[in-house]
A and B are shown apart, each in its own frame.
Chain A
Amino acid sequence: MRISMKSIAEPNGHGPKLENVKKVVRRIKFESELDHDFGEYIAGKAHGQKLLTCIQCGTCSATCPLSHYMDFTPRRIIAMTREGFKEEVLNSLTIWLCASCYSCYVECPKEIRITDIMYALKREAIQKGYYPKRLPVPVLARIFHKFVYRYGRNTESWVLIGLYLRTNPFKMLKELILGLKLMLRGRFKLGIEKIRKRNQLRSLLAIEEGRVK
Chain B
Amino acid sequence: MKKKYIYYPGCSLRSTGIAYDESIRAVFEKLNIALEELEDWNCCGATSYFSVDEGDAFALASRNLALAEQQMGNEDFDIVAPCSACYLVLLKTKKILEENKDLYAQINLKLQKVNLNYEGKVKVRHPIDVLVNDFGLDNLAKQVKFPLKGFKVASYYGCQIVRPYSMFDDMYNPTTLDRIVKALGADPVDWPLKTRCCGGSLTGTIQEAGLRMNRFLLQKAQEEGANVIITCCPLCQHNLECYQERINKQFREEINIPVIYFTQLIGIALGLSSKELGLNRLFKKPSLKRFAVQKGEVANAW
List residues of A whose CB falls within 8 A of some B CB: 45, 47, 65-66, 69, 96-97, 99-103, 105-106, 113, 115, 119-120, 122-123, 126-127, 136-138, 140-142, 144-145, 147-148, 152-157, 160, 163, 178, 181-182, 185-189, 193, 195-197, 200-201, 203-207, 212
Among the stretches B23-31, B39-47, B119-127, B144-152, the one at the interface with A is: B39-47
Q: Does B201 belong to the interface (CB within 8 Å)?
A: yes
Q: State the Cβ distance, A201 to closest chain B Cβ, in Å.
A: 6
Q: Tell whether A205 pairs with B19 under 8 Å between CB atoms, given A69-B209, A142-B52, A193-B11.
A: no
Instruction: Give per-residue flags for B171-199: 1 if the beta carbon is below 8 A from chain A beta carbons, else 0.
Output: 10000000000000000000000001101
Q: How far is the CA of A157 from the CA of B11 in the complex (A)?
A: 11
Q: State the Cβ distance, B131 to closest chain A Cβ, in Å.
A: 24
Q: Is A65 within 8 A of B11, CB to CB?
A: no
Q: Is B43 within 8 A of A153, CB to CB?
A: yes
Instruction: Determine which of A106, A123, A178, A186 lies in contact with B52 in the assembled complex, contact meaning CB atoms within 8 Å.
Output: A123
Q: Is A145 within 8 A of B100, CB to CB?
A: no
Q: Is A140 within 8 A of B48, CB to CB?
A: yes
Q: State the Cβ distance, A114 to closest chain B Cβ, in Å.
A: 10
Q: Is B16 within 8 A of A106, CB to CB?
A: no
Q: How far is the CA of A156 from the CA of B47 in the complex (A)?
A: 14
Provide the residues of chain B in CB contact with A100, threshold 8 Å: 47, 50, 159-160, 200
Q: Please, which residue of chain A has its CB at the minimum distance from the CB of B67?
A: A197
Q: Does B18 belong to the interface (CB within 8 Å)?
A: yes
Q: Is A160 within 8 A of B204, CB to CB?
A: yes
Q: Tell whether A195 pairs with B40 under 8 Å between CB atoms, given A106-B171, A182-B242, A204-B60.
A: yes
Instruction: Give per-residue flags for B42-76: 1 if the beta carbon is below 8 A from chain A beta carbons, else 0.
Output: 11011111111111100110010000000000000
Q: How far is the CA of A163 from the CA of B206 in the complex (A)?
A: 12
Provide the residues of chain B in CB contact with A142, threshold 8 Å: 52
Q: Is A204 within 8 A of B110, CB to CB?
A: yes
Provide the residues of chain A in CB contact with B206, threshold 8 Å: 69, 96-97, 136-137
Q: Is B49 within 8 A of A103, CB to CB?
A: no
Q: Is A205 within 8 A of B51, CB to CB?
A: no
Q: Does B15 belong to the interface (CB within 8 Å)?
A: yes
Q: Is A101 within 8 A of B16, CB to CB?
A: no
Q: Tell whether A204 pairs with B205 under 8 Å between CB atoms, given A103-B163, A153-B43.
A: no
User: Chain A: interface secondary structure?
Assistant: helix
Q: Does B220 belong to the interface (CB within 8 Å)?
A: no
Q: How far is the CA of A140 from the CA of B11 in the complex (A)?
A: 16
Q: Is B42 within 8 A of A153, CB to CB?
A: yes
Q: Please, which residue of chain B has its CB at the minimum distance from the CB of A120?
A: B54
Q: Is A106 within 8 A of B46, CB to CB?
A: no
Q: Does B240 belong to the interface (CB within 8 Å)?
A: no
> What are 12 sample pairs from A and B whose C-beta atoms fall under 8 A apart?
A65-B213, A97-B202, A99-B199, A101-B197, A119-B51, A126-B51, A141-B51, A153-B42, A153-B43, A154-B43, A157-B15, A181-B283
**Further 11 A-B residue pairs, CB within 8 A, beyond A65-B213, A103-B197, A204-B63:** A66-B213, A101-B160, A102-B164, A103-B159, A137-B205, A141-B51, A148-B60, A185-B282, A189-B14, A200-B114, A205-B60
Q: Tell whether A187 pairs with B281 under 8 Å between CB atoms, given A99-B200, A99-B202.
A: yes
Q: Is B42 within 8 A of A212, CB to CB?
A: no
Q: Is A136 within 8 A of B204, CB to CB?
A: yes
Q: Is B51 within 8 A of A182, CB to CB?
A: no
Provide the residues of chain B in CB contact with A96, threshold 8 Å: 205-206
Instruction: Determine which of B15, B45, B51, B114 lies in contact with A123 in the assembled complex, contact meaning CB atoms within 8 Å.
Output: B51
Q: Is A102 within 8 A of B52, CB to CB?
A: no
Q: Tell whether A186 pairs with B14 under 8 Å between CB atoms, given A102-B163, A144-B48, A148-B42.
A: no
Q: Tell whether A206 pairs with B114 under 8 Å between CB atoms, given A103-B159, A188-B15, A201-B63.
A: no
Q: How far is the CA of A100 from the CA of B57 in the complex (A)?
A: 15
Q: Is B56 within 8 A of A207, CB to CB?
A: yes
